[in-house]
Chain A
């Protein structure tokens, strides 16, 4: 099966986030960029599918020059081909604009039998692009998948819902967004790293896909970050010492929760 993995290259989740005064974007100076953690589950599932059934794995991203590092990492983990649509500055944070670009790229380099993405790209934390790409390609999708079985032309996916699991059956092609629990992603092997260096990443400008990135970022935009701020720092919590008299501290905590916070 030919599979396509949608990858987002995002700030490391351990990064310190700084916002320059009156800006709608973070300060990128000291940011380390990584493959979005959920996309690792997506990629791993595609590679396992290839190992079990044959086929090939293509990784697709839309982003600035640095996103190539993310593609190289995916190649090192076992993807066969990588496609980079360069750009994304003006369309930042606009999930539908991103999905429009990805769908156009898929039409250009596809067809594929199945698509994988992470349940969300950490950072903008939208959880939207996978479903949007599916809608634009007019194929079904299943989000937040923790278990997947692929049969002849159809798949069965388990997705977590509140209080249980939904078992969803869908025909291929389909977009599957991966949640934690789907698999344990592998690390790149030395052999994989060496082999990945020989792969030529296919690159496109947005214009090569028949889209106008300027228009996507302006007249056709559907979401705009107007402001970005750091959350108000929390301070003044009441911390009790429980080393010497744990029972006393517990009694005091229960009293505070009852009388002051009115929480119990």
Chain B
């Protein structure tokens, strides 16, 4: 039976949430279209995780478990994914549009001779083929595209599709040894200081822009973020000014995010910033300028001085949290 194959990303043996979202979406589509859903898991010492994927809808999980695959490499992973594609002949290969997925998808698609629909926010099956919608022109338009009559790779934007957990145990099939020569090798992974939550993975983000006036005032942004279990984001202006590291930048030249809640403090909402966050589910803006473009995309906003608004907001949220 034709179906959708989902590449599942793991880090240190932990399945990535964005991959489970992709798998859950594949399952939702497949149920309506009479397609099978299979998954492929790549790494070393990860076999015990495979059966778990049944809970998210995988019928069969192909596992490539080799020492050479312990760390991510584009070439090693591409070989494993291709082996799973050859075994299951899917109509589409899904993966999460994470840093890894974005790196892997182009190589795998070219190897298979397929197209790739990148960073999609909506996906459906029409006449047995996958059709997906994705933001283009910095989010100023939405393109709906397909694989031109061929199977296609689809990368799904994290935090857009819900991960649905159910019952079920997947059948596990080990792939034969696949990793050949790996030329580009990851030598080490430098973790960010203090184990800070990354904006690309966060469910809530509190961002600061030029309105915070100086790098020392990120303390206020961090206080609100900490209270909400949020990651700290930033506009391009403050990253360029050196107030905070580029890893925090949300926007066209930073990260594209879709959290459940995005709070923009002192950010005017230049198109370059909106490109990175306008698909957030709920947007809150705090800015002095009532004409700031950020208010055009905000669900809630306060026109006011963030230094006078954010501290009482922190106190109010603390009170509300204490009520539970």
Contact = CB atoms under 8 A, between A and B. Distances in A.
Contact of A234 (B114, B275, B296): B296
A94 interface: yes
B141 interface: yes
A229 B139 CA distance: 11
The size bracket of the interface on A is 35 or more
A21 interface: no
Interface in A1-50: 11, 13-17, 19, 24, 26, 37-38
Contact of B190 (A96, A164, A229): A164
Contacts of A263: 260-261, 282
Interface stretch (A56-64, A81-89, A193-201, A254-262): A254-262
B186 interface: yes
B141 A228 contact: yes
Most buried by B among A242, A249, A263: A242
B147 A222 contact: yes
A190 interface: no
A127 B102 CA distance: 7
A131 B103 contact: yes
A51 interface: no
B131 to A, nearest CB: 7
A224 B143 CA distance: 10
B303 A132 contact: no
A169 B313 CA distance: 47
B148 A240 contact: no
Given A134-B107, A234-B296, A253-B300, A128 B118 contact: yes
A163 B201 contact: yes
A26 B200 contact: no
B307 to A, nearest CB: 9
B230 to A, nearest CB: 10
Contacts of A141: 74, 107, 184
Given A131-B110, A237-B301, A243-B303, A163 B296 contact: no
A33 B13 CA distance: 45
B118 A127 contact: yes
A170 B100 CA distance: 17
A94 B145 CA distance: 10
B109 A132 contact: yes
Interface residues of B, number: 97
Given A132-B109, A167-B187, A253 B302 contact: yes
Nearest to A238: B300
Given A223-B147, A228-B141, A240-B303, A99 B261 contact: no
A131 B139 CA distance: 23
B284 interface: yes
A180 B254 contact: yes
B310 to A, nearest CB: 8
B177 interface: no
Interface string B263-307: 000000001100100100011101000100001111111111100
Contacts of A125: 118-119, 134-138
A159 interface: yes
B116 A223 contact: yes
B253 to A, nearest CB: 4
B137 A261 contact: no
Contact of A144 (B102, B140, B185): B102
A110 interface: no
A130 interface: yes
B316 A254 contact: yes
A171 to B, nearest CB: 6
A58 B317 CA distance: 56
Nearest to A11: B137
Interface in A170-229: 170-171, 174, 180-181, 221-229
A231 B246 CA distance: 28
A124 B302 contact: no
Contacts of A122: 137-138, 252
A181 B246 contact: yes
B191 interface: yes
Interface in B102-147: 102-103, 105-107, 109-111, 113-119, 131, 134-147
Nearest to A97: B115
B174 interface: no
Given A95-B118, A170-B183, A255-B316, 10 more contacts: A125-B119, A131-B105, A144-B99, A164-B191, A231-B135, A237-B299, A247-B312, A249-B309, A250-B309, A257-B284
6 contacts: A24-B143, A163-B196, A237-B301, A240-B303, A249-B304, A255-B320
What are the 3 closest A-B residue pairs judged by CB atoms, nearest first? A242-B304, A131-B106, A222-B115
